[in-house]
Structure 1
Amino acid sequence: MRFELLEEHRGEIGPIKKACGLMKVSKSGFYEHLGRKKPNAQIGREALEGFVVEAFHRHKGRYGYRRINREPRKSGIAVSEKRVLRIMQKLGLAGKGATRKHRIQKKVEPGDPRLNLAERAFSVGGRNRLRAGGIACMPASEGRFYLAAVIDAFSRKAVGRSMSERITEKVAIDAIGQAVGREGPPDDGSLVFHDDQGAQHASRSFQRCLDSHGITRSASRPGTPLDNAVAESFSKTLKRELAEERDYGTRDEAEQDIFKHIEPYCNRMRMHSALGYMSPVEYERQYA
């Protein structure tokens, strides 16, 4: 241990003879130490630590130990989650984790007109069967603006989005329009769109938009965000990993940054635990 410490700070103490005297080690022993090769176990530990640090910063601190653990597995290197966790704790690395809140679900009273076709069954067997949407408020120095997103429940891919300074039904309709133009609805009319019963999604114009594309609407029960977990998770992750660490000067700047984050990163690179730690595009290629 003294030899390692002396090797690390050898230029800070003075002549090597003086440094060895202060550390109470022999000069010949120190030079013998320099000629030794590092044990394979130490080389492996240092290599893994370097990989963890590189992966953590490459994803800008958004990944916790579970997702970072999946990175070496892509190259055929098996590493336990506990080992990655210990390394991150040792190096003081902590992903931007979410604080989970457990809420009591409200009971559905007799005669309630709510129609929930999804029933929290978001694991579907293919694309274009179930999509979830919501509207999130995003901050900017010029004032807040609103992001409407449409997520395919099969791959968790953001297939449609729209941003506006005003929270109206138009921002929700534009997001649906982009999703239809990009992915297209199935010919048999089996596509369901699930939302949280917001005023924009409950409007007549939005319902007419769904009808024109042959899409059936499903809605969450009031006060139960878990009914729309796919869209809620997307919005919460976007705010935590992007908006909270930025100080946008203008809305245009924010819109461009959000576009770059969703398309190249969230859809093509970011691993999702619900997808077996694959990205949406990777998951679609493998299972579609």
Structure 2
Amino acid sequence: MVYVAFVIDVFARKIVGWRVATSMTTGFVLDALNQAICQRAPSGADKLIHHSDRGSQYLSIKYTERLAEAGIDTSVGSVGDSYDNALTESIIGLFKTEVINFLGPWKSVGQVEWETLKWVSWYNTERLHSAIGYVTPQEAEEAFFADLSATEKAA
């Protein structure tokens, strides 16, 4: 059994952290979170919110302490709420369809990890998303920061 965790920036629909592992532990999801934190370098001024389901890994002391250290507020969905993690479940469904089910059977964790790396890169830089104006997550971010820079220069 292989597990994959994703950390997604909802604003741009960009996958900013991910991890593949053979067990569903706190360390597994913490690695994905740390990758996202390192990539984004958030500060307390960013007012970030981390939303997750009620999985024990996401509610663990180590995980919640790491979120607090990074100045990220936590949000956990209510039990039985079908809309709780719709965005994440949608991305995981795409990943399973486009990678796991399409390219398998798998011979090693390393093979899953390599294909996940390739898929995340494609997802972030080539896949168009209707929710962000039919552009890629990378393009959505670049446009946002270009607009922000132009606004700051005009001010």
When normalised by structure 1's length, the TM-score is 0.48
User: Are positions 1:153 and 2:13 aligned together?
Assistant: no
Cα deviation, residue 269, structure 1: 0.1
1:175 match: 32
User: Are positions 1:270 and 2:127 aligned together?
Assistant: yes
User: 1 CA distance for matches of 2:81 and 2:28?
Assistant: 23
User: 2 CA distance for matches of 1:179 and 1:148?
Assistant: 12
Cα deviation, residue 189, structure 1: 5.3
Q: CA RMSD in A?
A: 1.2
Contact 1:160-1:179 within 8 A present in 2 as well? yes
Q: Which amino acid aligns with 1:180?
A: I
User: 2 CA distance for matches of 1:241 and 1:216?
Assistant: 32
Unaligned runs of 5+ in 2: 146-155
Q: Which amino acid aligns with 2:130?
A: S
2:111 match: 253
Task: Note the 1:100-119 alignment, pairs <5 A.
Answer: none
**C-alpha distance after superposition, 1:48-81 (max 9, x if no partner):** xxxxxxxxxxxxxxxxxxxxxxxxxxxxxxxxxx
Cα deviation, residue 205, structure 1: 1.2
Unaligned runs of 5+ in 1: 1-143
Q: Which amino acid aligns with 1:244?
A: N
User: 1 CA distance for matches of 2:136 and 2:110?
Assistant: 27
User: 2 CA distance for matches of 1:270 and 1:224?
Assistant: 28
Q: Which of 185, 195, 208 is equivalent to 2:42?
A: 185
Contact 1:225-1:232 within 8 A present in 2 as well? no
Q: Which amino acid aligns with 2:14?
A: K
> Which stretches of structure 1, 4 residues or more, deviate above 3 A after TM superposition?
none
1:207 match: 64
1:283 match: 140
Residue 161 of structure 1 aligns to a residue whose secondary structure is strand
Task: Note the 1:68-107 alignment, pairs <5 A.
Answer: none
Higher Rg: 1
Q: Which has the higher contact order (CA 8 A, sep 6+)?
A: 2
Residue 218 of structure 1 aligns to a residue whose secondary structure is strand
Task: Note the 1:49-64 alignment, pairs <5 A.
Answer: none
Give the structure with the higher percent helix: 2
Aligned residues: 144
